[in-house]
Amino acid sequence: MNLVHPLPGKKINLEGTNYFIHGLVHGTPLVYISKDFKKTIENKFKEYDVICEDGFKAWIKNAKSFNEISHFNLGNISFFEMLKSFLVITYIKLVRKNKPLLIKQIQEMKTLEDFYFIREKLFEKYFLEPQGMNYYLSKLEKGSLKKPKGEFPLLIKRYIYEAKESLKYAKAKNLDELHIVVGCAHELPLEYFLRNPNLLKRFIV
């Protein structure tokens, strides 16, 4: 397992700053995450500089939120409905692939050992990047990252925004180390963008 303190993730060094991207399993309309597990995560990150997806701010009190709801002008209700639709579709696909056991394991997740196991199973399903993002774009007839057609869908915009905000935050605070906490599915796209800063500079979101 690729272990990066304080939790598994990816490490990228850019201009003297170490960026650690940690993909976590978070709550959904179908899955409740226990308070004990959230507290464990908070304790793991309390000594670090952290920037995170909006939902993880409630878990990690010392973190800075990306404030994506505000940036993309998404009201709480519309954002919730968008997230709900996306996650329901994702979980339906898991069920159709005869993976109800994984859903049950996520629902029952209590310890870091539980999380490590679930994380490993989830990452077995993800495409490497940029294949994953390019596949998604092609299905929407939006070209590719290097040759986009029209406006990027919100999901890709979020990856770009999160990568840019991480760089901006680290620079503003002159950090030697920054931990980025996102959902598991965001980890590989963020790693790709941070490893390709020249490509990232092309996009405005």
CA distance 69 to 120: 29
pLDDT tens per residue across span 137-166: 999 999 999 999 999 999 999 999 999 999
More confident residue, 73 or 60: 60
Asked if 184 and 23 count as a contact pair (C-beta separation under 8 A), the reply is yes
Determine the pLDDT at residue 32.
80
Single pTM value for the model: 0.87
CA distance 90 to 6: 28
SS3 at position 204: coil
Asked if 167 and 15 count as a contact pair (C-beta separation under 8 A), the reply is no
Determine the pLDDT at residue 169.
98
For residue 195, the tally of other CB atoms under 10 A from its CB is 15
At 98, the pLDDT band (50, 70, 90 cuts) reads very low
